[in-house]
C-alpha cells in the first residue's frame, strides 16, 4: 500500500517524502529555523535542522575553513539516513549554508588555508543528496574574508556541478533595491561586497545576481527578505515556502 497524505501547502496528494536537512546561514542557530522545520514536517517532509548554535560559527570567522560546520552537517545527514532507513536526503542551505552544502557534495579534499593543517577528506555527498535547495545564498563574493572559501567552491564545483546526480534549486528574493540612501544603504553595501554592484535587486543581503547558479533551476521570489529574523516575509515564511517546496517532491 502506498502511504501519503493530502498537502495543504501544495494542494495535492503527497507520497512519503525523502527526509530533509536544513543547514542554517552564517552565525545563525538552529532555533531560528524551527518554524520552517515544523512547517515542512506538517507538509509531509520529515525535516531536521543541523543543531548549530551561534558560537559554533566562531572558529570559522575571518575566512577560516568551514570544517566545524561541515562536520556537524555530515553527522546530521548520517543520523537522518539511519533514522529513516533511506539512501538519500534533500538538503536546504540558507545563505552561506548553500555554498557550504556545495563543498559537502564534492569529491575533492577541502584544503585548509593554513598549510600546517591537513586537508579534510571529501564527503562526496552527491551520492546521497537528491535535491539541494539554496535560499538567498551568495554563490559569489568580492569580500576578502569569504573569497578563499568561495573560490574553492567555484573553482572545483562551478555552477550546478553535480546536476546529473543532484537537482539544484537556487532561490533569490527580490525585495530591496540597493541605493546609497537611508533605508537601503545596508543592501547597497552588501550587494556591492557580494557581486561588485550595489545598485541592483536582492533580498536585502544577497543580490539576485549572486543567488543563482548556471545549470540550476533558478527562482526569483517577489517581496522576500533574507533573514528569518527580518520584518516581513523571508524564504521560510508559510506563504513563501509553497513557491519552492514542490521541487523537493
Question: Each residue's pLDDT tens digit in the chain (249 positions)?
Answer: 234 444 444 454 444 689 999 999 999 999 999 999 999 999 999 999 999 999 999 999 988 999 999 999 999 999 999 999 999 999 999 999 999 999 999 999 887 555 445 567 789 999 999 999 999 999 999 988 888 899 999 999 999 999 999 999 999 999 999 998 887 889 999 999 999 999 999 999 999 999 999 999 999 999 999 999 988 999 999 999 999 999 997
Predicted confidence at residue 166, as pLDDT, reads 98
* Pairing label, strands 167-174, 129-135: parallel
- Give the pLDDT confidence score for residue 116 in this predicted structure: 47
Considering only the top CATH level, what class is 4-172+225-248?
Answer: alpha beta
Domains of the chain: which residue ranges? 4-172+225-248
Amino acid at each position: 500500500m502506498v502511504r501519503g497524505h493530502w498537502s495543504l501547502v501544495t494542494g495535492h496528494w503527497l507520497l512519503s517524502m525523502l527526509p530533509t536537512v536544513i543547514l542554517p546561514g552564517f552565525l545563525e542557530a538552529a532555533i531560528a529555523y524551527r518554524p520552517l522545520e515544523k512547517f515542512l514536517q506538517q507538509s509531509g517532509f520529515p525535516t531536521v535542522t543541523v543543531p548549530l548554535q551561534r558560537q559554533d560559527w566562531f572558529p570559522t570567522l575571518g575566512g577560516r575553513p568551514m570544517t566545524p560546520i561541515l562536520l556537524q552537517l555530515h553527522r546530521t545527514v548520517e543520523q537522518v539516513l539511519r533514522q529513516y532507513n533511506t539512501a538519500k536526503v534533500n538538503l536546504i542551505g540558507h545563505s552561506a549554508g548553500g555554498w557550504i552544502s556545495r563543498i559537502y557534495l564534492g569529491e575533492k579534499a577541502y584544503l585548509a588555508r593554513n598549510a600546517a593543517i591537513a586537508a579534510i577528506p571529501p564527503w562526496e555527498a552527491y551520492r546521497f543528496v537528491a535535491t539541494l535547495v539554496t535560499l538567498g545564498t551568495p554563490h559569489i563574493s568580492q569580500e576578502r574574508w569569504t573569497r578563499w572559501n568561495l573560490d574553492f567552491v567555484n573553482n572545483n564545483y562551478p555552477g550546478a556541478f553535480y546536476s546529473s546526480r543532484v537537482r539544484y534549486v537556487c532561490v533569490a528574493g527580490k525585495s530591496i533595491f540597493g541605493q546609497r540612501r537611508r533605508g537601503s544603504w545596508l543592501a547597497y553595501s552588501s550587494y556591492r561586497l557580494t557581486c561588485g554592484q550595489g545598485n541592483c535587486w536582492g533580498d536585502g543581503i544577497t543580490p539576485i545576481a549572486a543567488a543563482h547558479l548556471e545549470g540550476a533551476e533558478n527562482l526569483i521570489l517577489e517581496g522576500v527578505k533574507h533573514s528569518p529574523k527580518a520584518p516581513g516575509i523571508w524564504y521560510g515564511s508559510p506563504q513563501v515556502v509553497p513557491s519552492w517546496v514542490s521541487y523537493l517532491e
